[in-house]
Every structure is written in structure tokens, then in C-alpha cells.
């Protein structure tokens, strides 16, 4: 388990044929989120599938079955940003150059998404 998700734990998975890694959330429909939440989630996923940007998490696949829905996205190797930084530089303050690069990526992603 990589961590908690909004609807279920986020797990790492790998496609055996290609070695590609991705994340998976299995969302239980019965006893899980309310029906309107699932409808909103499906609408958000359709929108996410249309986004193609290097700084925006992509949806690999959305499988909708009777009892469960499965959301597969990229980012299986991703971690919380501060967790990543603390691991690389445990003794140092946040360097301005590093922060600037991260914020530039964030702004590019937000700009891209806001225009769609």
C-alpha cells in the first residue's frame, strides 16, 4: 500500500508483460461511496483521461464492474513531495532553485488544466 486514497487505499501494481508500474484503487460500490459520489468520480475520470501533460497525473485505465470500480493511474513511483525532499536532503533547508523548479512545474500543470 502506497497510502490512503479518497475512496480506498492506493496500491502499487505492475503490468507483467511490459514491466510498467502504476497505481490502483479498487473502489467498492456496495457499502462504499454514495451513488452520486461514484457518478461524480466517473465524470472526473473521463475529464482526467482527456488531459495529456507531463506534470499531470494520467489515467491508464478505468474498469467499472458490478461490485467494484478500478482506477489505474501513473505515479506508482511518486511520493509526497516533502517526503522525497527530506529523504534526499535531511539536513538542509529547502533550496530556492529546487523550490522554483517545483513551483514552475506546478504552475505549468495548473495552467494546462485550467484551460481545459
Query: What pLDDT, on a 0 to 100 scale, did the predictor assign at position 66?
Result: 85
Residue 79 confidence (pLDDT): 64
Residue 107: HSE in the Cβ half-sphere, 13 Å Cα cutoff = 6
CB 69 within 8 A of CB 19: no
Distance CA 99, CA 47 (A): 29
State which residues of the chain have pLDDT below 50.
none
pLDDT of residue 85: 78
To which residue does cell 457518478 refer? 39
- Confirm or reject CATH 3.40.50.170 for domain 1-78, answering yes or no: no
Q: Which helix (H) or strand (E) holds 73?
A: strand 68-73
pTM of the model: 0.69
| Residues whose CB is less than 8 angstroms from the CB of residue 5 and which lie 6 or more positions away in sequence, other chains included | 25
Q: Which of 56, 89, 91 is nearest to 73 (CA)?
A: 56
* Domain range summary for the chain, segments of one domain joined by +: 1-78, 80-116
Rounded Cα–Cα distance for residues 58 and 86 (Å): 26
Contact 25, 10 (CB under 8 A): yes
The three cell numbers of residue 55 are 506534470
Hey, which residues does 26 pair with through a beta bridge?
A: 70
pLDDT of residue 7: 78
Amino acid at each position: 500500500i502506497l497510502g490512503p486514497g479518497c475512496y480506498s487505499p492506493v496500491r502499487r501494481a505492475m503490468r507483467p508483460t511490459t514491466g510498467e508500474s502504476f497505481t490502483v484503487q479498487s473502489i467498492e460500490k456496495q457499502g462504499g461511496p454514495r451513488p452520486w459520489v461514484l457518478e461524480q468520480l466517473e465524470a472526473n475520470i473521463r475529464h482526467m483521461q482527456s488531459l495529456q501533460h507531463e506534470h499531470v497525473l494520467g489515467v491508464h485505465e478505468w474498469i467499472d464492474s458490478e461490485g467494484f470500480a478500478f482506477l489505474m493511474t501513473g505515479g506508482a513511483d511518486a511520493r509526497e513531495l516533502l517526503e522525497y525532499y527530506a529523504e534526499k536532503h535531511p539536513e538542509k533547508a529547502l533550496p530556492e532553485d529546487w523550490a522554483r523548479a517545483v513551483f514552475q512545474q506546478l504552475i505549468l500543470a495548473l495552467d494546462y488544466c485550467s484551460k481545459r
